[in-house]
Amino acid sequence: MTQRNNTKLAQLDWHTLRKEQALQVLKTDDKQGLADKEAKDRLAAFGPNSIREEKRRSAVTIFAKQFKEPLILILIVATAISGFVGDLVDAIVIVAIIILATIVGFVQEYKSEKAIEALKQMTAATCRVIRNGQERLLDVGGLVPGDVFLVSAGDRIPADAFLLESFNLETNEAALTGESIPVRKTTGMTFAREVPLADRKNILYTITTVTHGRGRAVVFATGMNTELGKIAGTVQGIEIQKTPFETRMRSTGKLLSAIMLGVAAIVSVIGILRGHEILEMLVWSISLAVAAVPEALPAVTAASLTLGVYRMAKQNAIIRHLPAVETLGSTTVICSDKTGTLTKGEMTVRKIYAYDNKSALVTGTGYSPKGRVDVDAGSGISSEYLVLLAKTAALCNDAHIKEQKTQGKEERADIEKEVVKVIGDPTEIALLAFARKVGLDKEKADAEFPRIREVSFTSERKLMTTVHKVAGSEGQIQVFTKGAVEEVLNRCSAIIHADLTTTAMHNIDNSYRKGNGVVVDDDDGSSNNIKDKILSANNDMASAGLRVLALAYKNMSVSSSDDINKVSDQDLESDLAFLGIVGMIDPARPEVIEAIAECRTAGIDVVMITGDHKLTALAVAEEIGILAATAADDDGTSSSAEQSKETIEVKAAAALSGTELDAMSQDKLAERVGQTKVYSRVLPEHKLKIVQALKKNGHIVAMTGDGINDAPALKAADIGIAMGITGTQVTKEASSMVLADDNFATIVSAVKEGRRIFDNVKKYLVYLLTANIGEIIILAFAVTAGWPFPLLAKHILFINLATDGSPAIALGLEPPEPDVMKRRPRAPTESQFSGIKMWLIGIPIILAVTSLALFWYVLELNGWQSDFALAKARTMVFGLIIFFELFFAISCRSLTHNAHRLAKFSNKMLVYSLIGESVMVLLIMNYPPLQEIFELVNLDAVDWTIVMLLATTGFIFCEIVKAVVCRERKN
Positions marked catalytic: 337
| 672-708 burial: b if 16+ Cβ within 10 Å, else e | ebeebbbbbbbbbbbbbbbbbbbbeeebbbbbbbbbb
Backbone angles phi, psi at 630, to 5 degrees: -75, 150
Backbone angles phi, psi at 368, to 5 degrees: -70, 145
Phi-psi region of 145 (alpha: psi -120 to 50; beta: other; left: phi over 0): beta
Integer Cα distance of 857 and 851 in angstroms: 10
| 920-944 burial: b if 16+ Cβ within 10 Å, else e | ebeebbeeeeebebbbbbebeeebe
Query: Which residues, at least 6 apart from 572, have a Cβ–Cβ distance to it below 8 Å?
Result: 453, 455, 465, 467, 479
| Cβ-contact 480, 451 below 8 angstroms | no
Beta bridge partners of 317: 739
Phi-psi region of 232 (alpha: psi -120 to 50; beta: other; left: phi over 0): left
Integer Cα distance of 281 and 288 in angstroms: 10
Q: What share of the chain is helix, strand, coil (3-state, %, to 5)?
A: 50, 15, 30
Beta strands in 295-393 (DSSP E): 317-319, 333-337, 348-354, 358-362, 373-374
| Cβ-contact 329, 755 below 8 angstroms | yes
Integer Cα distance of 620 and 622 in angstroms: 5
Integer Cα distance of 402 and 172 in angstroms: 32
| Cβ-contact 381, 499 below 8 angstroms | yes
Integer Cα distance of 799 and 879 in angstroms: 9
Q: Environment class of residue 414 by beta-carbon count within 10 Å: exposed (0-12), middle (13-18) or buried (19+)?
A: exposed
Distances (CA, A) of 706 to 236, 410, 413, 681, 956: 18, 43, 41, 16, 52
3-state secondary structure 910-930: HHHHHHHHHHHHHHHHHCHHH
Distances (CA, A) of 210 to 59, 167, 189: 41, 12, 20
The one-character DSSP state at 706 is -
Query: Which residues, at least 6 apart from 32, have a Cβ–Cβ distance to it below 8 Å?
Result: 130, 132, 133
| Cβ-contact 631, 358 below 8 angstroms | no
Integer Cα distance of 566 and 801 in angstroms: 79
Integer Cα distance of 649 and 921 in angstroms: 70
Cα 496 to the chain's mean position, in Å?
Answer: 46
Query: Which residues, at least 6 apart from 425, have a Cβ–Cβ distance to it below 8 Å?
Result: 398, 399
Beta bridge partners of 418: 404
Q: Rounded to 5 degrees, what angle do the CA atoms 737, 741, 746 make? A: 60
| Cβ-contact 494, 472 below 8 angstroms | no
Integer Cα distance of 56 and 53 in angstroms: 8
Integer Cα distance of 855 and 788 in angstroms: 10
Give the DSSP H/E element, type plus range, for residue 465: strand 463-469
